[in-house]
Amino acid sequence: MPKQRKSESRVPRRAKALLKAISRCRHPECPVVARHPFYWSEEPVAPVVPSYLKLGNIMIVAAYPTAMFVNFETEKHIPYYDVSEPLADYRYYDGTGVRDVKAGTYFDRAYLIPLGLRRKDLWITNTVKCFLFDKKQARRHRKLPMIKPIRIEPTREQFFDCARPCVETHLLREVKICKPKLILTIGAEAAEAIHGTFGKSKKKKDDVPGGKLIFSKIVGVPLRANKRMNRYDKREGIFFKTNIFHFIHPGYLMRVPYGKLSKEHWSKHLPAAFEFIKELGIKQFRDKVGVKDRNLKKDLKEIEIESKHEIDHGATRVTL
């Protein structure tokens, strides 16, 4: 077996104990433990640990990991197994074809490459470490013949109940170890966790209408360390002491490519983030924001189309 290169195998000493703690997590307050501890495969729903683990640079915080899915008889798209890392490509057989998921490629093209960032210079993690079943997935799962009678209940709607113990137990510790110059969050849910609102206001008297974080007021806005940028900026503790920038979720870019926030992602958010990164003295491989490539949006559309489960029949590839 060939030896791993140092750059691939090295884990910062300070992060080793953290990775072990995340991988073994079974927090008593987390709904995952009670509602769906196992997949149909009888594999446990396990935390997906952060990847790349670059210290003192940029931390990427997404919402929660996806899973590998399987098709069984009449039931389709059933969660079956954990993925190995956040925001990554993966390819596997799902029972009827080879599923080729380009989530990592899409994220690179729509976020990292325009900003002049490489994965090796990042710490990539999720707010919630475990996959969360939605109602449809749980319902399909319960229809399958079970070797052991495991009752699967949805947790997707309880994202913030899962996020609170994850943030308090793991994410805060990740930030303390990584000591990032900048945290980039992906999606409104990750932003809420960073601001400590967890879907609702912690205080009864709140100057934000409705008592919730208004994502549209903070997305694309450089939130500087130790400075309250506007009345919607609710960071506290270590997150207030850290530079933050919020992006919309890749799923929104895919589903609503011509929506207001999608257009602003290309025209406003990426340029603002690029300049913020440059201002913080973080290394970039581009001299200017790379969003003027005319083929970029076409490439992203092709990646989205390719991210379906496919099967090879000789020289012909058939989308199922």
**Domains of the chain listed by start with CATH number:** 12-319 (3.40.470.10)
Q: Identify which of 235, 216, 217 has the alpha carbon closest to the alpha carbon of residue 225.
A: 235
**Mean pLDDT, rounded, for 23-44:** 90
Rounded average pLDDT over 10-32: 90
pTM for the whole structure: 0.88
CA distances (Å), origin 245, targets 59, 61, 242:
10, 10, 10
Q: What is the pLDDT of residues 184-230, one digit of tens each?
A: 999 999 999 999 988 764 444 444 444 578 999 999 999 999 999 88
DSSP state, 28? T
Q: Any idea what DSSP says for residue 4? A: P
Question: In this structure, which amino acid lies at residue 16?
Answer: K
Share of the chain above pLDDT 70, in %: 82
Q: Could you tell me which of 41, 9, 302 has the C-alpha nearest to residue 148?
A: 41
Q: What is the tens place of the pLDDT at every residue in 48-101? A: 999 999 999 999 999 999 999 988 888 888 898 999 999 999 999 988 888 888
Give the separation between CA 54 and CA 58, rounded to whole angstroms: 8
Q: Is the dihedral of CA 275, 281, 285, 172 positive or negative?
A: negative
Can you give the pLDDT at residue 35? 92
Q: How far is CA 109 from CA 102, 103, 241, 277, in A?
A: 11, 10, 30, 17
**DSSP-assigned beta bridge partners for residue 75:** 72
Helix runs in the chain, H state only: 6-9, 13-23, 31-35, 103-107, 113-115, 135-142, 159-166, 172-178, 188-195, 237-240, 250-255, 260-264, 270-279, 296-306
Which amino acid appears at position 79 of this protein? P
First-to-last C-alpha distance (Å) of the chain: 36
Band of residue 308 on the pLDDT scale cut at 50, 70, 90: low
